[in-house]
Amino acid sequence: MCSVSYICFWFTVGASWLVVNTSVSGNSMSEEERLRLKEEAKEMFYHAYTSYMDNAYPADELMPLSCMPRWRGVDQSRGDIDDTLGNFSLTLVDSLDTLVVMGDIEEFDRALRLVVRDVSFDNDVVVSVFETNIRMVGGLLSGHVLAEHLNQLYGALGWYRGELLTMARDLATRLLPAFNTTTGIPHAKVNLKYGMKSPKLQSSRDTCTACAGTIILEFAALSRLTGDSIFEEKARQALDCLWSQRHRGSDLVGTVLNVHSGDWVRRDSGVGAGIDSYYEYLLKAYVLLGDDSYLERFNKVLKGDIKPAIETHEMLFQVIQRHNFLPEAFTTDFQVHWGQHPLRPEFLESTYLLYLATDDPYYLRVGEHILRSLQKHAWVPCGYAAVKDVRTGVHEDRMDSFVLSETFKYLYLLFAKPSDLIIDVDHFIFTTEAHLLPLSLARLSNLTVVPGPDPQESAQDSDVEYARSCPNAHFLFPGRHEFAETIRRPLKNFVNNVCPSRKTLQRKLRASEFQAGNSRHMSLLRDMGITIMALPDGRVQLLHTSSNAKSSDDAEEGLLFMQEMIELSKLQQEQPENPPRVVSFQQEIDGQSVVTTIQAGPAQFGLDLKGDVQVKGTVVKASPLRACDQLHNKGDIKDKIVIIERGDCMFIEKARRLETLGAVGGIVLDNTPGTSAKSSPMFAMSGDGTDDVSIPLVFLFSADAELLLNALDKQPDLEAALSDFPYKESGTGSVEEVQLELSATSEAGKETKVAESEEGQLPQVISIINKRQKEDEDISGDDLVTVVEGQQAKHTEQERKDYFLKFQKALMELENANSAEEILVAAVHYVNSRQEQEVAEGNILKTGQPSSAIITELQGLLIKKTSSDPSLLKSLLSVHLRELMAVLQQASPSTSDLDTSLHHLLNQLTALTLKPSVLDHPRNTASETKLSHQRGSPKGDHNEDSKLEEELSEVIQHQIRKIRKQFEHTTDSDDLEEKWLR
């Protein structure tokens, strides 16, 4: 397989010299048609531009399906693709010079004023150096150059004083920290406010060739326009290092390299994504800057030759005719491999350049075809939407800024004649983002010079004319008329002839039907040349090798099967957020009521257990357990929650069978022994595309399910509930990102205890305030949620950075807390964030000894927090003593650490000379009796203070013993620590 390589015929400057005398073929276009298409292309741009300005500005992008703005850090993250966004009105800046190309000076004036007024870069956001340079720095520079150019030509924009150039310099300066590497090759990303000091960039080390090699035009232009050489020097150093790392035999460069060592991380080469614009900028840097070294490097690898350009363009156009748009990637036999099309401009750019080079109206017809596809398949009421898959035509809520900066610009230029434009584009070079930089930069030193209105003046400058000329011109044309048509003619129906026969293939197995536990399915996969490997967490890996297939038809079906699997995987990832669910049940242990809650995986079908939706029922096992055939105990299923096992048939098939027999819900147990939410990624059970099930289905890993199965063995009439996972907004008392949760509740004032997650292992307890519906409702010791967290999983570098930010947020929350309840909630978040930090850094739970640092830090923070308001400490040590102990115990499971912290807090309370009545509370009647004789003045001698401390300590210890007994905790420090470490 290979990905699509877009042909980019880069000779975008001085285009008039490329035109040859070619007779018009049958593809001729009338002047009336050309004008109509030019105006339609302009209307398309304004439909997108106006939609953005009306519905999204000043955000970076418009979401055309929802007709909403896309803000960085506000809308759901899309991963690395969002590194293009910086909350700096990207689409408007990227579109500035398109307004000039369209001849709209009035709107260009208005847009410039908006940019100057609204756009700033002092944002704490990590952005792509490459994208920010080509889109924002390039857009600002082009806007500046054209503003001065229009002022010279037409006297427009008299108010403009170079503000955009100042902004471009500010932004580029913020990118400079990325260049501080041993090689001079810039990091891929940088924080606009903090440079490389952002926690998210601590592990930055790799970048792509295009990312480092597509900076020279913008940075050199900035240096020559401002007189500050640092930008051009940095960009040139990066290019020089890339060239020094080339393969000496072929002069080719790889795709990804280490910015510190210069070593190649990916050695594959080509002209596709990750490399393409590096070669583009070598040639354009020569044209714009007049440096022969750039041309020499370009000529060692590529040479301008129109014949392969025509051939490749024709092949790609035939692919477009099959699918309306060019997919992101297709195979060598022209089958769609990656069907997405975000309305990219590269093919239109190549069409425009080939038309300039050949004057063949055929390319006008190609442009018309693209225009019609955009209008029919991408137009939406709020702009133009990207296509998620060219095979289905389904839209994606995305309209990238390059659609306005490049796609519509090249479409308009294709149908426009030079006389239709208010500027002479032959005086400019187009950057990779189609921004216009003046060719006069070749003769600039450090002065802001823009093209003059008299083309004859520059024509007399032989150096500038040489700078505009492209190399290898004698290779471009064979010196005959209609040569483009003669090149295309042999390629007619090329794609159709190469593509596999359209005969109907009788499918034996589709990806949506596949079950890893089905022996027949496994046999069919082997026939197709697909090998399968089971992973420890129950997932499977598939590998297709055509040569291993039983027949050519089996090999073809294997390819289709793999493609379907890829699409199924994508669809599952694109499913709307489907958070975890829980299975909860109540049982009697030693005469006390215990409610156990286990995290469960959701299903993408059936009843949605969101919010308060809950299903309850008596639990029963299916027989046979996998429930893929008729059940032997179907009479026991009605109105029950049925336990079934994964395997042999699809999840949704099991659900349909249960619903037919009258079940109210189902619990699917994993069929791989030993799996748990602690060690395996949770997933959502997928359906088959038809959601005709109305009962809920949840998934439990096998180790987690043992809790349920053991309870069912002891209590055959066990009742369970299926419900939503209790996530809440930060600060409301929830504990996020838990893997196994056990909730301790109480009824009628009964005390409860927490079940152990594993035999002999003490649960890691976090107690927090469970806020009630009414804000003024009292919170007692029974209003608790107790959570059990399993062993910490391995954390990625990104997670470690996120934990640091989470820690800072928790610290601020603790500082801003105004009540004992808020302090406790903030303390839980603080302890969680610190422990996540320590585990991620490998400081605890790996060395064999728990850390005392966190409880010491928390103790200090609590003392500091309550020093100015003694009533807060009073409340913590009385009304909320049980919650406080649980938080401190979470900070360190060591009994000695817990006692030490409580002792320090008690000393603080004594030092503040509080009355012993602070411990008065309905739960502390024994305390009230013991301390009644102490209710005198808080002032007294040292002995009185000592007595007070002793009495307070005795009360505290009494409460500690009581609470420990509830949780069956030992008071032996060593034994307790040993159990924790286990």
List binding-site positions for Ca(2+). 432
DSSP 51-76: HHHHHTTTSSEEETTTTEEE-TTTSP
Residue among 337, 350, 349 at smallest CA distance from 390: 337
Cβ-contact 935, 915 below 8 angstroms: yes
Using alpha carbons only, give the angle 216, 222, 225 rounded to the nearest 5 degrees: 135
Residue among 807, 864, 603 at smallest CA distance from 722: 603
Residue among 650, 659, 741 at smallest CA distance from 700: 741
Question: Which residue in 232, 276, 527, 554 is the catalytic one?
Answer: 276
Binding residues: 432
Residue among 344, 346, 309, 341 at smallest CA distance from 323: 341
The letter for the amino acid at 130 is F
**Torsion angle of alpha carbons 248, 253, 256, 259, nearest 10°?**
60
- Report the C-alpha gap between 214 and 278 in whole angstroms: 5
Question: What Å distances lie between residue 550 and 263, 287, 545, 562, CA to CA?
Answer: 43, 56, 11, 16
Residue 276 among the catalytic residues:
yes
Q: Omega before 624 cis (within 30°)? A: yes
Tell me the sheet residues that pair with 223. Answer: none
- Report the C-alpha gap between 53 and 512 in whole angstroms: 43
Cβ-contact 488, 498 below 8 angstroms: no
First to last CA, the chain: 49
Q: CB 398: neighbour CB atoms within 10 A?
A: 23
Beta-strand ranges (E) seen in 300-427 are 329-330, 336-338, 379-380, 383-384, 386-387, 395-396
Q: SS3 of 528, please? A: coil
Q: What is the DSSP letter of 603?
A: B
Report residue 721 as tokens: 């509930």
Report residue 880 as tokens: 């909320």
Cβ-contact 391, 340 below 8 angstroms: no
The alpha carbon of 238 is separated from its chain's Cα centroid by a whole number of angstroms, namely 28
- Report the C-alpha gap between 63 and 78 in whole angstroms: 13
Cβ-contact 274, 210 below 8 angstroms: yes
Question: Which residue in 97, 232, 346, 527 is the catalytic one?
Answer: 346
Question: Which residue in 163, 218, 328, 836 is the catalytic one?
Answer: 328
What stretch of H or E contains 49? helix 31-55
Report residue 262 as tokens: 């210069």
Question: What Å distances lie between residue 625 and 535, 644, 667, 684, 687, CA to CA?
Answer: 23, 5, 11, 21, 20
Q: Are strands 592-600 and 765-769 parallel, antiparallel or unpaired?
A: unpaired
Question: Which residue in 131, 218, 659, 836 is the catalytic one?
Answer: 131
Residue 346 among the catalytic residues:
yes
Cβ-contact 62, 52 below 8 angstroms: yes
Active site residues: 131, 276, 328, 346
